[in-house]
Amino acid sequence: MAMKNTAGPPAGTIRYWAAAKAAAGTAEEPYAAATLAEALDAARRRHAARPEFARVLGRCSFLVDGDPVGTRDHKTVQLAEGGTVEVLPPFAGG
């Protein structure tokens, strides 16, 4: 018989880079969410006093445990216990 997880959603770390880091006012913070969409919604609420944060987040790409999210619906991207979400704004140059 499988044991039911009563500890709540998985917990991990969101890391912000470049403009996302500046807009969030922090380099990283914890998440407690089952999906990328839930983690990002919670981050938007946490940084509601920083309107630039939501604007920057809308232009970012994401890596979940090193794997690019790409165009996948964020509601379908599962997060793992101890995982890492990297928030990458568009980079200039090339």
Strand-strand pairing, 84-88 and 11-16: parallel
Residue 81 CB neighbours (<10 A): 11
Q: How confident is the model at residue 25 (pLDDT cuts 50, 70, 90)?
A: very high
pLDDT digits (tens, 9 = 90+) for 74-94: 999 999 999 999 999 987 655
Alpha-carbon gap, residue 63 to 29, rounded angstroms: 15
Q: What's the confidence (pLDDT) of residue 90?
A: 86
* CATH number, residue 34: 3.10.20.30
Q: In the Cβ-directed half-sphere of 5, how many Cα atoms lie within 13 Å?
A: 7
Does a structural domain hold residue 16?
yes
Give the domain extent around 47. 11-88
Name the pTM for this structure: 0.88
Task: State mean pLDDT over 53-81.
Answer: 97
Does a structural domain hold residue 6?
no
Q: How many domains does the chain have?
A: 1
Nearest Cα to Cα of residue 19 among 84, 77, 74, 89: 89
pLDDT digits (tens, 9 = 90+) for 30-48: 999 999 999 999 999 999 9
